[in-house]
Structure 1
């Protein structure tokens, strides 16, 4: 009986192994036979292109427009998670020519006519249905949708997105097939290479079978960063294994400083296109065929575009800091973000202590447009940078002045509505008082300062002193921005 039991167990084990092999074969057949995209893959859109790669917190509107101005063929957004995108509201800003996808009180994605046929939205997701819901919301405003399977950051690990999905190829295939079969725009994805080249080639063949139009390949492992040499041979092997365009990425550190270097990297990897990230941050004019421009000229063009579309100054100063860090020696770089982040208006940015270094003082400020005049008489807003040092907060603060005036004139107490801008961790405040709404739209670092700033708006509108030091009477006409409802990102 013992011998028969052992034989029975071995037979069962062999049967299980054969069944597992059959299941793997069926999955491969499913990938090949059941893929039926709604639209044929538009691979020619991604052939022979130089592309601005997706970059965390940097691939936003001004950077994308600047890359296009200098010669990039296509531009990718920074990664936007489907979980957030599906809750966005689409609105149009006719005055600035923008389409905004707003989530809560900040713009998750902004685009305009200048990039409409050249921008690809990169999405982070791990749910096919959620990805489709989010992609359908934006597909009419972008050239294509890209799914991020290449991000190696801790946030990607926490949410199990990006490169942490590469060890779940079945889910990768499900997400891509769901999008390809149900969207009217091209679908692509971006990956990193796996430790085993055979596993990498098997993965990219399965990805190709879903009907995607192109494949972006960052030539590094998930655990590797840009200080590690890019794996050119792995990218080249992938280009030989698939028939769709391969977009090579990861060559900035070693290969790319000029446009000619981009072409050289494309030839070295045998890819059809190249996407550039780090070299584009250092100097976005890397896309110019006639050579790169001086960095101060690039920064001037960058800030000018940001001013044109009234881009969030908080985000702009962060992006400028990244550019500065890659171009100037440490002794010229502010030790923290505070020096640039103290600038709360574009006028202050042009006059800050680093304006000469960046030559920002040469930028012509954007004039106030006629459309910015008040439309709703009951909504009074000012772009007011509130400086705490200009007021005596403890004894004669704007809030105490307003509350005292309301009590003396038998008016109901003002009601304060605090607005938190989650993306930047700052606050603004709206005051509901005497049938009107008073709003200081410049964000403050805490709730109390936001309340004081809006009190100043209210006091100035009422023609009352606002408690500013060395100011006998602050009852001067304010420069209202009218229905200025653009929340700072």
Structure 2
């Protein structure tokens, strides 16, 4: 029996309906997950979730599905969802995420997956142009009535709980009222991405942990609360939990470029926290090949290859050219011959170098103003990606921005001090 047969050949037995778990009871039933794969469009599909769990993730979300398309288009469902999704022995706990602005289509879509997941999540954070055009995700942030209706419809009519993921407003107080409304509508978990709707792409910047902490402090104590943003390395997860006192930490880009970011129990093991690109690529490739029924995994594979190999490809442009020529219809044998095999050969040659032990090390820099430290990682190992803008990478932009803000604050304090001294002098004279 192959891996892909396990769910299809052994369908879950029909059992009496269970009481729907809510809030803390749901969280505890899931095993109190603290390391969470974020919902990512066309990225957090079955094969990637399986891989991420092997590297420490304890809860995973599906990619964001379009509720109306999922409810009405069989082709869309087949591209996004398969028999193995939500399989109890490899893909749980699982939260299925939808974007929507119509309660009817949202409920119809959610009913199609409620038997294969632990909860259904409403996306209220997508900042992309397609979300603006379709009026969903973060572009519902001003329409609280619709959001409340969407969540309450699922809460009242679905067999599994509903959760929600939000972004923040510039104002803390408004964000708090927004979060309270989402919980009042029936959301059992609240995930807060500490960025504004405008913070995307080249304008991403740092997530605001202070506003996430503020929400955690002012929402009901028993709220199941996840934080999202600024996770580059495994130690950032504990740093986030210690500051915010959240129940779990969600990672999107950090996980995409290095699944080892979730291996918090193995921070001393370089192969588990910063895996070699050849070994991770092989492991992921074999998962995709094993789950042939997952169209979503096959479609996403090329994109994942580029992310896994991002630091490696600039040094081996021949492999980059070969990878660029591949597509979802390319046979697995061709993938093996043209990409996977050559990557393995190159990295194996690197490890034959006499000085490899001196080269194959992780160097940690000084603590930065944002609270963490950047690391220097060999290009043949998975690592975070810092998106360049005008030739300056994201890590350097963050440091420069924080230094400017710090200098401005210091300047203001000095001006205030001088002003007070002048007032004292004038009063004395």
The reply to whether TM is greater than 0.5 is yes
Q: Which residue of 1 aligns with 2:219?
A: 242
Q: Which residue of 2 aligns with 1:180?
A: 155
Larger-Rg structure? 1
SS in 2 for 1:65: helix
Q: Which residue of 2 aligns with 1:134?
A: 109
Q: Which residue of 2 aligns with 1:301?
A: 283
In the alignment, the residues of structure 2 paired with residue 343 and residue 135 of structure 1 have an alpha-carbon distance, to the nearest angstrom, of 30
Q: Which residue of 1 aligns with 2:330?
A: 344
Q: CA deviation at 1:331?
A: 4.3
Change (3 A) 1:331 1:342: farther
Q: CA offsets, 1:196-222, max 9 Å, x none?
A: 111101111111112221101110000
Q: Contact conserved, 2:301 with 2:328, CA < 8 A, in 1?
A: no
Q: Contact conserved, 2:101 with 2:146, CA < 8 A, in 1?
A: yes
Q: How many residues align?
A: 307
Change (3 A) 1:353 1:68: closer
Q: Contact conserved, 1:283 with 1:295, CA < 8 A, in 2?
A: no
Q: Contact conserved, 2:126 with 2:137, CA < 8 A, in 1?
A: yes
Change (3 A) 1:272 1:158: same
Larger helix proportion of the pair: 2
In the alignment, the residues of structure 2 paired with residue 118 and residue 181 of structure 1 have an alpha-carbon distance, to the nearest angstrom, of 22
Q: CA offsets, 1:333-354, max 9 Å, x none?
A: 5269633339811111111156
Q: Does 1:328 align with 2:305?
A: no
Higher mean Cα deviation, 307-316 or 76-85?
307-316
Alignment of 1:56-71 (within 5 A): 56-71=41-56
Larger strand proportion of the pair: 1
Q: Which residue of 1 aligns with 2:378?
A: none
In the alignment, the residues of structure 1 paired with residue 164 and residue 153 of structure 2 have an alpha-carbon distance, to the nearest angstrom, of 13
Show structure 1 runs of 5+ residues with no match: 1-37, 90-101, 363-489
Q: Contact conserved, 2:278 with 2:344, CA < 8 A, in 1?
A: yes
In the alignment, the residues of structure 2 paired with residue 58 and residue 360 of structure 1 have an alpha-carbon distance, to the nearest angstrom, of 27
Q: CA offsets, 1:432-485, max 9 Å, x none?
A: xxxxxxxxxxxxxxxxxxxxxxxxxxxxxxxxxxxxxxxxxxxxxxxxxxxxxx
Q: Which residue of 1 aligns with 2:194?
A: 219
In the alignment, the residues of structure 2 paired with residue 353 and residue 132 of structure 1 have an alpha-carbon distance, to the nearest angstrom, of 42
TM-score under structure 1 length normalisation: 0.59
In the alignment, the residues of structure 1 paired with residue 196 and residue 214 of structure 2 have an alpha-carbon distance, to the nearest angstrom, of 15
In the alignment, the residues of structure 1 paired with residue 56 and residue 25 of structure 2 have an alpha-carbon distance, to the nearest angstrom, of 18
In the alignment, the residues of structure 1 paired with residue 76 and residue 313 of structure 2 have an alpha-carbon distance, to the nearest angstrom, of 38
In the alignment, the residues of structure 1 paired with residue 261 and residue 144 of structure 2 have an alpha-carbon distance, to the nearest angstrom, of 35
TM-score under structure 2 length normalisation: 0.66
In the alignment, the residues of structure 1 paired with residue 278 and residue 155 of structure 2 have an alpha-carbon distance, to the nearest angstrom, of 43
Higher mean Cα deviation, 137-146 or 311-320?
311-320
Q: Contact conserved, 1:343 with 1:352, CA < 8 A, in 2?
A: no
Q: CA deviation at 1:71?
A: 2.1
Higher mean Cα deviation, 180-189 or 154-163?
180-189
Query: Aligned match of 1:164 in 139, 142, 145?
Result: 139
Q: Which residue of 2 aligns with 1:231?
A: 208
Q: Which residue of 1 aligns with 2:79?
A: 107
Query: Aligned match of 1:290 in 243, 255, 266?
Result: 266
Q: Which residue of 2 aligns with 1:428?
A: none
Q: Which residue of 2 aligns with 1:53?
A: 38
Q: Which residue of 1 aligns with 2:176?
A: 201
Q: CA deviation at 1:67?
A: 1.1
Query: Aligned match of 1:251 in 230, 245, 251?
Result: 230
